[in-house]
Every structure is written in structure tokens, then in C-alpha cells.
Structure 1
Amino acid sequence: MAPILFGKEPKPGDLIEIFRGPYQHWAVYIGGNEVIHMIPPSEDSLLRHPGEESDFFSSLVSVLDSSRALVRRQKVSEVVGPHSFRINNLLDDECDPRPPRLIVRDACRLAGRDLPYCVATNNCEHFVTELRYGKAESRQVRAAGVVMAGAAVAALGAVLFASLLKDDSKESKRRRRYQ
């Protein structure tokens, strides 16, 4: 098994967060050292060829363009590869998790299926939170949205500030003309 952060072994129904550099991949632990996860075909190539930087960035871009994903049942070590992971039942404080046997049953029933995929509305994190809590959510997408909204507000503020400076400069020129 790949390195586990905080040294805790997963239990069936736990969510597994895998750290892959600029983003996290998510899976649900089903026992027997196996997970179920949803993965677009382009991201699957990252698993098959870990560490190839040129492939990494082109695959990451194609993940953003994927509209379908395969639900796979695999060994934890195959999915995690050289990366680290942790158990992250991220919504346990907000939502009651479904019983582990139901999470595992429903996850296993989906294995092998081809499902719609959208990085913003139906990604691997949405997939596993739906299984565990009955509620699809992605904090990763929410955080990215907050960052993008913050950047948009900052850009708008800069434009408005520049506009005020420009208007102030015009007013100063007018005053000098009439003095």
C-alpha cells in the first residue's frame, strides 16, 4: 500500500483523498485493499505512466475536456501510485454517512460503468461524496470557484480604481486650464 498520511488504516466506506500535485483524486475504500473510483480516460493514462511530466500536463488539460468517465475497482496501490493519500470523510461533521455496507454495495454495483463526467459538476469527488452521504459535493471545485471569484473581484476593483485615477487626472487637467 502507498504511504498513508496520519498512519490510519481505511475502513470500508471511507473516502480516500489522493494527492497528485495540483489536484486531488478521490476514491471510496471497499475493503480488501481495494477502492472504487471514477476516472476519465485521460486521467487513467496518468496512472499507467506516473511521473512523465509532458504527459502529465497534456492529460490534465484533457481531463478538463472529458465528458465521460469509467468507474473502476482497483487495488489502492494501483490508484495511488507514487503519491500519498489520506482518509478524508470530509462531510462527516455536516452529514450523516450512509451505512458502510450500503456504500460498498452501491460502489461495487457501479464498477465497470461508463458515466457522465464534468470537472465542475460531476467529478471523482462528487462521485464519492454521493456514495458516502447521498449528496454530491466537491470542495475542490468550490474552493476553485472562490479563488476565481476573488480574482474576478480583484480585477474589477483594479479596473474601477484605474478608471477613478483616469477621471481624477482629467479633472486635474481641467482645473489647471481654468486657473
Structure 2
Amino acid sequence: MEQDSSVAADLQDGVDEFSNISFRPLEVSDVDDFMVWASDERVTHFCSFNPYTSKEDGINYIKNTVISHPWFRAICLNNRPIGAISVTKNSGNDICRGELGYVLAGQYWGKGIATRAVKMVAKTIFSERPELERLEALVDVQNVGSQKVLEKAGFTREGVLRRYFILKGRSRDVVMYSLLATDPVI
């Protein structure tokens, strides 16, 4: 297959074909792209939800959860959603913390996209929400790929929280990662 000349030029300049990453709100019209990752058992294995089996369920999730979420974005490649990333802000005495979550379609794993997205969001969220001093992520101890993403993005591994929550009927150990607003984002 012949490469587009702009892609070839980007590759020569040291920029890979996945450098055009952006964020935007996920919309109901994105349901087909959403279903690519949300229906994949490999992708949803460590997610709080089971694979979506119907487009209608995906539409309902986008309408009832995603659109009303204060900071939920589609991770886009050339403006097409290939995953999602969110930051959930705590309240009360925990207002200084936000929890990061992300998911990426399996065909894009191992290409640096999730790491790039996490870095971009960290820079963005600390400037958009100055009350946030800490961004944290909880990762299943068996989800080595996601742990590597966070470490490459400059997050600090703080430790293992044993039997921290129930995921798909089983109590799970998770690794706590954090990035402070004062930490350098790599």
C-alpha cells in the first residue's frame, strides 16, 4: 500500500502517523466508533462495564452518562473517536483531587496514543481547573499496559490498594498512581 505524501513527510520528520491526536466531546452520532471499543471484550476486560452488545445501549450510555459528565472526551485520531478519556472531580474535602480514566480501541494499543493522550489531558486539566492539585488513576494490578502508560506519562506509582473495589463480581487489587500539578509532565 502506498503512503500518502503528507504521512510520508511526517514519518521523515520523526512524527509518526498517530501524532494527530485531539479531544472533543463524544456525541450520539459517534456511536458506531464508540461500539468498536465498547463491545470489545479485550478492551473492556479491566473496565467497570461489560462489553456493550447493542447500539441502543451505547446510545443510552452516551446520552445519559457521557454528555452530562463534566469532563469526558473522545480521544480522536484525525477527528474520529478511537477511545475516550475522562477526569472526575471529587467534592467536599477531596476537591483538590480528580480521577483519570481512559479507554482505547485495541487496534491502537502499543502505539503511544494512550500515553500521549494522558500527557495532553494532564497539562490541560491542571490549567482548566486550578483547584485540582492532584490527578490520580487506579489501575488493576494485572493491567500492565495501563500501568506503563501512566509511568511513561510521568505519574508516580504510590502503591497497591488491596481488595480495593469489586469489578465484575470479584474484589480486585489496584495500583494507585498520581500526578501533582507541580510535577513535571514528561
TM-score under structure 1 length normalisation: 0.24
TM-score under structure 2 length normalisation: 0.23
Q: Who wins on radius of gyration, i.e. which is larger?
A: 1
- Higher relative contact order by CA 8 Å / sep ≥ 6: 1 or 2? 1
Going by fraction, where is helix more abundant, 1 or 2? 1
Going by fraction, where is strand more abundant, 1 or 2? 2
